[in-house]
Each structure stands twice: as structure tokens, then as C-alpha cells.
Structure 1
């Protein structure tokens, strides 16, 4: 098995899949559930740290005026994106060859958990702003690297016929996990004047303790996948271990081959780089806008977040069946159009206050999850066994690794308009460009070799 070339047509697909630790015949519910629990736990970083609690805390008045703190947040996330851009495909490629996918998922997740725990040290003082932003940036880097390995496991827990449902289940678990965790931190610490264990809002303690809870949540939720899903096994075909910097030469060779053999896959990677970063921007800056522009209190932001996660979770899980039946591209296109229209409504009708944000914000949430899940399955259907980490590494690099684009345009439009809500146009522009780049991509393509 060690000398198999996954591109050799003489080798049965089942044999190649078995060598890579993939089950092409049936889906194990236990493995799917264990895999989905990592997404469930990741809400600790996505919902609590980067969207509705910690970023809102850091952009509050205690750390400076909202324009300054929002701009600083955008620069910190942009810097994190550049680091991921340079490292994600190499990390994925090396875990394919070394068969250490689970090991590095555990290590990278552990670093994210540590960053969440250290956020509890960020006091409500402007002197702590860049310490908090630094933890957020480092956490973002290692979350993205962990996601490379996690996404690569999708083909280990699904079949070609169920990949859409399994991917949608994972994303949906993330949103549902976000609901449960936000309920815990809201009613346990943030909403009451005196929360559990006597915690109050003095010096930001309600938020700081919430970050400790988030760290524990992610740590516990990430454990099942490390036991239930087997480690990937390397497939040879001349892909030997090389040094870290030599991996970049190998990456350049692989990209050139990808361009020759499946050019529309490259087009998809580039288009998804843009629109997925816009999707990230919707949630990253959603809580910031709710508080800064629409006057939501910290508690009201979390209430909205709970409603948003309910809507997004139901929509994402439901969209999996549509993905398997109609294909990923139509689902992505419809979702992006819905996001662009809803975003423009938030911008133009912002004077309507919280009612406008509630209505169109929740409509936005209908489309974010399906677009994210379908983007992952579009690529998963193309990847041969044994190259999941490498290609999803490229996916991270060209997509979420371009995480600097949405924060950059958000900051630029805030500067142009002189008000925080102008950043909405920056996010909408990113989504529009991604949609226009996606339209020419062929939905039906030969599998990569």
C-alpha cells in the first residue's frame, strides 16, 4: 500500500481509499458525530472569541473610541491571515505525507484553547488592547491550521453520496454549539448583575470568566474525534518527506500541476478565497456593528447571537440535502446573492436602528452557513485519497487565509465614510467580487489526480 499512486487508474478506488483511512462504502454515525463535535466545540472560538463576546469587549469604550479599536481589530486579523497564507498549504501537505493529521489537529487545537484561556487575563483597560488582539490573532492562526486537518478528515467520515449532508451536519453542529455556549455565558455570567461563582461585570470579569468557560468547552469537545476517527495513512507515489522549506518547492510543483490538469479547480480556489473571507467578515464584524452602530448592549448582542446561530444552524443542516441533490455551486450562488442583498439593506436602512439589524441580520444568517458548507463539499468531491490535507491546505490559504481582505476593506470603508457602519459596504464588496469570480467556474470537473 505504501507505494500506491492515487492517480494510477489500474488501482481500485476502494483500495486507495482504504490505504488513506477512508471508508468509501458507508458512513459511520459514530465517527460523523465525533467529527462534528469538533465543530460544536469550535463555537468557543468562532462565536465567543471572534464574533459576539471577546471582539465586542475589545472594541468597547474602555479600550478606546470605536473607530480606533475597530481598525486595530481589522489589522490584527489581517496580519493573522497573512501568516496562515504562508503556512497552511505546507502544513496540510506535510500531514498527508507524515500521516500525523490527528496529532497536528490536537496540537493546533490545544494552542487555540490556550489562547482562549489567556484571554481571561485581558483587563478592561486600553493598555491591554494589543495583548488581547495578539491573543486573537495567534488563536486565529492556529484555528485555521487546525481546520486544515479537520476539513481533510471529511472524506474519512463520509461517502461521495453523503459528503454534503456530513459537511452540513458539521457546520450545523458548530452553530448549535454556539447557541448552547452563548446561553451558558449569557445567563451564567454576563446578563446577571452577579453571575455564577459571584462573578460581576467589574473590570470585565464576566467576559474574562466566559473565556475560561470557552476554553474548557473547546478542549472537551475536541477529544472525541481524536479517538473515533483513525489516523490517516500516507500513500506513496513519490511523495516522500522533505524539509520545511523544500515543501514550498513541492507546493509550487503541485500548484503548477493543478493548473494544467484542473484549471477550474484553481479558479474555484481563487473565487472562494474572496467570498469565504466575506462570509467570515459577516460574523467577525457582526457583533461589533451591533454594539457600535446599532446600540446593542453586551447582553443584547448575545441574545441576537443566539437567534442568529439558531437560524444559521437550521439553514445549514437543511442545505446538506440540497447540496447532495443539486450540487454545491447553485447553493453557493443563491447564498451569495442573498447575502449581498441583505447586507445592502442593513447599510441603506441603518437609520432604522435595531429593528433593521434584527430583520436583515437574521436573513444574512440564513445564507452564511450553506455557502460555507457547500464550498467545502465542492472541493471535497474533487480530492483523491491521500491528498486531502494538501488540497485543503490550499483551500485554507486561498480562502480563510485571505482573512486580511475583509478586515482590510472593512477598515478602508470605515475610514472613507467616517462611521463604523460604512464597513458593511466593504464586506458586501468582497462578497460581490467572490460571486463574480465564481460564476464562470464549471460545476462539473474531472477529479484531481
Structure 2
């Protein structure tokens, strides 16, 4: 294996290292536990998570362009990866202390969620900036999609570990107490250990961007922002990506919270739900990388966005004891088995449509950005890419938080997500498949 192959493998492995955070903490296990178990009131818990997401979005919006510009200016990306790993690991591990019924720990745990989320997003921005440097010519989309698929395999394995070792056994491994929700809380330390075990190869062999004499991060960042007037296609892409990505992220982040609150799903049910979505996402992303190679990133993104929107619309029609708001059906019965009620099965079915395509949408958006970004400027543009992914990220969680508190219906999260999704897809439809030659953009 030559140096380039090792770097590509390390880059993809970093995606694998990060994915359990999104699966176990941010989406399927810990945040539903936070809302329904730790806080004890699903609607209030969802509202608090919305406010935390808003704070995270603001911090990422401020810092991600600076990190990207710094990578371009040959501030060693390895230093950034190591520096961001420290708060991520500490904050993730500290989630173990979310003891149920201890209201005094709600704020510290929210702070840990913010720190872990911001660190994960910023390190992802550094990783994305390295994509054009490690991918073979013409295979950016394929590498991006393959890495996403590998990441979902990692998510699956971590979910199986939680289920088989801590959730399903009558006596969980390590003597964990189900009464104290320790199988839910152990995911924080597990994510921290997993990340440390698999992220180090990229930290050691991340390629160095080519040095450009006299380059200053803040000045170059400001120049890049000003150049948006001469690159209207980039502005449209960033706005469209901002709205589409925020819609997808909101649906993913609040889907498990919604299921836990509406159906009373336990860790076992949430874990199986997560496994089903992760399998669908892994298959969809692997296929999506090949579709991207054949049809292009733009077409892949728009097809995926349409399917995600269809799935989100279907999920929004499901209630605890109704379908489409008017058809009354039997609600879930406590102890009645896994996914035995019609609302649960319909919810799961429509969610799988989202699972199949949210991975390809995100992977191809990243590849599309790499094709649009001018040569030698990938770091700062991926910094803006991360910014666009979070510039409105505080808005959707904030609207969800306020809407949930006002309406009292957790399904407001689905409606907000669908609105962002649809608007982003319409804007992206007007963006070219790739940017013009450098002289045309000057």
C-alpha cells in the first residue's frame, strides 16, 4: 500500500471513528434518553435539546470558516485534529454522569453535548478540507460515498455492542444498572474510547496543503467571502446546502427523540430502530457513491432530497393512536412486543426511506463542494461549507424548541425539517454541476 492509499484509508477510517457519536449520542440513544429519561418530560427535553442545538450552531458558524482558512494557510491539519479530539473525548465521556432525577446536572450535561457537537463538526470540517488532497483524480464522489458507507458499518457495530452487551441482557455487562439507565449513559464513554482507537491514523498522516506565500487566514477568508459576488453559483450552493443539510440534520437529530416520546420506546427499541436506519443508510450510501460516479453529484443530491422529503412527510402523518391525523388506530401497548402497533410500523417504514437517502445526500453534497471549489482553496471553501451547514442550524432547533413548547406536539420537528428540506432542494436545482475554469471565475 503506497502513501496515497494509506492516506485515503486513514481519511475513511476517521469517518468510521466519528460515526458512533452521531448514532449513539446525537441521534438514537443518548438524546432520547436525555429527553424522556434524564429530564423526564419528553416535550421539555426536546425543547432543551433544541436550545442546545441552537448554541452549537452559532458556535460552529463562527469558528468553522476560521478553521478551514487556517488549514489552507498551512496551519498543520494534524494539530487541529488532535486539538479538537481532546474536548470531544472529555465531553463525550462526561455524559456518563447524566444520572436520572438529578436536575442539577441538566445544564452541565447540555454543555457537554454542545462541546462534543461543536468539536465533532469542526474536526469534520478539517477532514472535509482534506478530501480533494487525498482522493484520486475524478474519484472524489466515490471516496466520499465509500467513507460514508464505512461509517455506517461502524455505527452498526457500535449499536450492536450497546444492544448485545448492555441493553438486551437481563444483567448488563460490567454490572450496569438498568434502573439507573447506565446502559443509556455508557454510550458517552464508549464513543470516547472508539474515537481514540480509530482516529489516530489520520492525525498522524493527514496531508499538508500546499504552501502559498504570504497567505493569511483571516484575510483569505474575507477575500473568499467577498468573491461570492463574482461566484453566484457558490452562493446559491451554500444557501441551498445550508437549508437542505439543516432539514436532514434536524430530522435525524429529533427522530429518535420523537419516537421515544410518542411511543415510549426503550433503549432496545431505539437501538433496533437505529440499526435498521443504519443498515439502510450504509446500503444507500454505498450505492449512492456509484450513482454519483455515473450521474454526477448534483443529480444524486436532488434524487436523495426528494426521497428524504417523502419519508419525512410520511413520518409527520404518524401519531401515537392515529394516521394522517384522522384515521384512529390502536396505540402501542406496554410490553406488547417490538413494533407491534400499526403507528410504530408505519413510522419505521417511512423512516427507512429517509435512512436510504440521507447518507447519499450528505456524501454527494460534500463531493459536489469539492468539484465547485477552486483549486488550492478547498480548506476555506469547506470552512464556508461547514458554516453554511450551521448558519441556520440554530434556527431549526430554535423553531423546534419554541414550537414544541408552544404547540405541545413533538411532530413540529418533522414539519420544520420538511420545510428546510424542500426549500434547500429548490435552490440547489439552480446550481451548476461544477464551477467554471479559474479564468472564468476571476
Task: Provide the TM-score with structure 2 as the length reference.
Answer: 0.89
Alignment of 1:24-423 (within 5 A): 28-125=4-101, 126-236=103-213, 238-240=214-216, 247=218, 250-260=220-230, 262-350=231-319, 351=322, 352-415=342-405, 417-423=407-413
- The CA distance in 1 between the partners of 2:87 and 2:239, in whole Å, is 29
Contact kept? 2:371, 2:434, Cα under 8 Å: no
Deviation at residue 154 of structure 1 after TM alignment: 0.7
Structure 1: unaligned runs, 5 residues or longer: 1-25, 242-246
Instruction: Indicate the larger mover: 286-295 or 307-316.
Output: 286-295
Deviation at residue 187 of structure 1 after TM alignment: 1.2
Task: Provide the TM-score with structure 1 as the length reference.
Answer: 0.88
**Aligned residue pairs: how many?**
416
- The CA distance in 1 between the partners of 2:40 and 2:184, in whole Å, is 18
- Aligned residue for 2:73, secondary structure, equals helix
Contact kept? 2:88, 2:119, Cα under 8 Å: yes
Deviation at residue 416 of structure 1 after TM alignment: 5.0
Contact kept? 1:160, 1:381, Cα under 8 Å: no
Contact kept? 1:88, 1:393, Cα under 8 Å: yes
Structure 2: unaligned runs, 5 residues or longer: 323-341
The superposition leaves residues 92-112 of structure 1 with CA deviations (integer Å, 9 ceiling, x where unpaired) of 101221331121012112321
Contact kept? 1:166, 1:320, Cα under 8 Å: yes
Contact kept? 2:184, 2:267, Cα under 8 Å: no
The superposition leaves residues 263-310 of structure 1 with CA deviations (integer Å, 9 ceiling, x where unpaired) of 101110111011111111121111111111133212100111011101
- Aligned residue for 2:180, secondary structure, equals helix
Contact kept? 1:43, 1:175, Cα under 8 Å: yes
- The CA distance in 2 between the partners of 1:174 and 1:259, in whole Å, is 36
Contact kept? 1:41, 1:177, Cα under 8 Å: yes
- The CA distance in 2 between the partners of 1:174 and 1:115, in whole Å, is 21
Compared with structure 1, are the counterparts of its residues 45 and 157 closer, same or farther at alpha carbon in structure 2 (3 Å cutoff)? same
Instruction: Indicate the larger mover: 143-152 or 191-200.
Output: 191-200
Deviation at residue 381 of structure 1 after TM alignment: 1.2
- Aligned residue for 1:403, secondary structure, equals coil
Instruction: Indicate the larger mover: 265-274 or 102-111.
Output: 102-111
- Aligned residue for 1:420, secondary structure, equals coil
- The CA distance in 2 between the partners of 1:150 and 1:64, in whole Å, is 37
Deviation at residue 385 of structure 1 after TM alignment: 4.2
- The CA distance in 2 between the partners of 1:208 and 1:412, in whole Å, is 27
- The CA distance in 2 between the partners of 1:133 and 1:104, in whole Å, is 24
Contact kept? 1:105, 1:149, Cα under 8 Å: yes
Contact kept? 1:412, 1:426, Cα under 8 Å: no
Contact kept? 2:38, 2:98, Cα under 8 Å: no
Deviation at residue 250 of structure 1 after TM alignment: 4.3
Contact kept? 1:36, 1:170, Cα under 8 Å: yes
- The CA distance in 1 between the partners of 2:153 and 2:419, in whole Å, is 29
Contact kept? 2:372, 2:434, Cα under 8 Å: no
Contact kept? 2:56, 2:118, Cα under 8 Å: yes
- The CA distance in 2 between the partners of 1:149 and 1:412, in whole Å, is 33
Compared with structure 1, are the counterparts of its residues 401 and 202 closer, same or farther at alpha carbon in structure 2 (3 Å cutoff)? farther
Compared with structure 1, are the counterparts of its residues 444 and 391 closer, same or farther at alpha carbon in structure 2 (3 Å cutoff)? closer
- The CA distance in 1 between the partners of 2:392 and 2:156, in whole Å, is 27
